[in-house]
Copies of this chain bind each other. A is one copy, B any other.
Amino acid sequence: MAQINDHYRKLRAGYLFPEIGRRVRAFQEANPGAKLIRLGIGDVTLPLAPAVVEAMRRAVEEMGTAAGFRGYPPDQGEPFLVEAIRRFDYGARGVEVAADEIFVSDGSKQDSGNIQEIFAQDVRVAVTDPVYPVYVDTNVMAGRTGAPGEDGRFPGILYLAGTRENGFTPPPPAPGAADVAYLCSPNNPTGAVMTRARLAAWVEWAQASDAVLIFDAAYDAFIRDPALPRSIYEVPGARRCAIEMRSFSKRAGFTGVRCAYTVIPRELTGKAASGERVPLRELWARRQATKFNGVPYVVQRAAEAVFSADGRKQTGQQIEHYMENARVLRAGLGSAGFEVFGGEHAPYLWLATPGRIASWDFFDSLLTRCHVVGTPGAGFGAAGEGFLRLSAFNSRENVEEALGRIRHELGR
């Protein structure tokens, strides 16, 4: 008799974005004339950079020739891409990462969802709250939690609340309070960014706790202040306790192209039941060799082109465009009386709901009164209640139109 994985049923409420999709579709069907502006899901809007398009076009041509055809990609990524990552994402900031510590993949969602597989069933997981739902849901599906309580929190996970008081970058818990901690900076959903001191505190905590940090830097390209760390490996000691994930999705508009990577330093180990220390890099290599088959050649050439001189310039302009959107939204909403966080080193704004009303209610009123789609903070965890995420991924025109509607309908 085929029994199912009952842990999935703890997730009954549905993944956040499908629920938003359902509400938006229902509104659209009832109001076919309404012109919706989507500042909800974090999907980019600008077309691919010309340097990327040109690289993909060349790669497609190659694949059509006997000499240029490529079959299965190398397990951990094409050497040309791995070298570009080493040089531009790490070497340029004084960080040394070896080629075999880099694992090219089809997305940070996948990597951050799959990484829990290499840990024991009973590791204690910590997340910041609000949180990207994938970190939590994949641990629920793996059976590391009980059924959720009324606040939606899962027993077995340690939630660290991001609040106004801690700048939405919670400090580490007591030493030994968790074995694996997920961090995301610049943060999805709050747009908060961790300072070097805050990151160093986490590294120190992980070392004291023999814990592993999973550092999701999918939004690192949006950091404006060169003094802020972009990689956790800029903090001494991080190679012994941190896994880092980066993505091309937001930095180069690759949400429909699919490329990311994960770094696991050789020094980083976990403990086997025997007491032996086992390099996590080897476990992940085995996981990927068994359950993954590499990133398309055409996509890896596209990612390589992001690092070319033209690619860096063109994708840099895209980032500027989104960050100017963020600035416009932040300034406009602020002057209309909203309390706004984030949006300075991240493409997300974290908006306190007016009068601290429930975030799904604010979502509904934005949708029905302004025809603007946001993402309710409560969808990211209990500590997200009373907030709403707005994304800067849109045209300037739409951002200004959305801002005008919000100011008119809901501003003070």
Q: Which of A66-74, A92-100, A227-235, A346-354 contacts B (4 or more CB under 8 A)?
A: A66-74
Number of interface residues of A (CB under 8 A): 86
Query: Are A69 and B41 CB-contacts (below 8 A) given A180-B2, A298-B257?
Result: no
Stretch in A25-33, A104-112, A333-341 touching the partner: A104-112
Q: Determine if A63 and B48 form an interchain contact, defined as CB atoms under 8 angstroms apart.
A: yes
Complex interface: chain B residues within 8 A of A121 (CB): 5, 143
Binds B, one of A187-195, A278-286, A355-363, A375-383: A278-286
Contact B70 A290 (CB under 8 A): no
Q: Which residues of B contact A257 (CB under 8 A)?
A: 63, 296-298
CB distance from A289 to the nearest CB of B (A): 5
Cβ-based interface call for A368 (8 A): no
Q: Nearest-CB distance from A97 to chain B (Å)?
A: 21
| Cβ contact within 8 Å between B141 and A290 | yes
- In whole angstroms, what is the CA distance A103 to B45 when docked? 25
**Across the interface, which residues of B come within 8 angstroms of A1, CB to CB?**
176, 179, 209-211, 271
Q: What chain B residues lie within 8 Å of A60 (beta carbons)?
A: 53, 56-57, 60, 298
Given known pairs A6-B273, A119-B5, A256-B69, the reply for A292 and B64 (CB within 8 Å) is: no
A406 beta carbon closer than 8 Å to chain B: no
Q: In the bound complex, what is the Cα–Cα distance between A113 and B47 (angstroms)?
A: 34
Count of this chain's copies in the oligomeric assembly: 2
- Which of B48, B64, B72, B270 touches A64 (beta carbons < 8 Å)? B48
What B residues does A291 contact at CB under 8 A?
A: 109-110, 113-114, 134, 138
The digit string for A252-281, where 1 denotes a CB below 8 A from any CB of B, is 010111100000000000111100001010
Query: Are the CB atoms of B273 and A110 closer together than 8 Å?
Result: no
Contact of A296 among B109, B117, B210, B296 (CB under 8 A): B296
A37 on the B face (CB < 8 A): no
**12 A-B pairs whose Cβ atoms sit less than 8 Å apart in the complex:** A2-B123, A2-B270, A3-B120, A4-B278, A4-B283, A5-B121, A9-B272, A18-B289, A57-B57, A69-B256, A109-B291, A298-B298
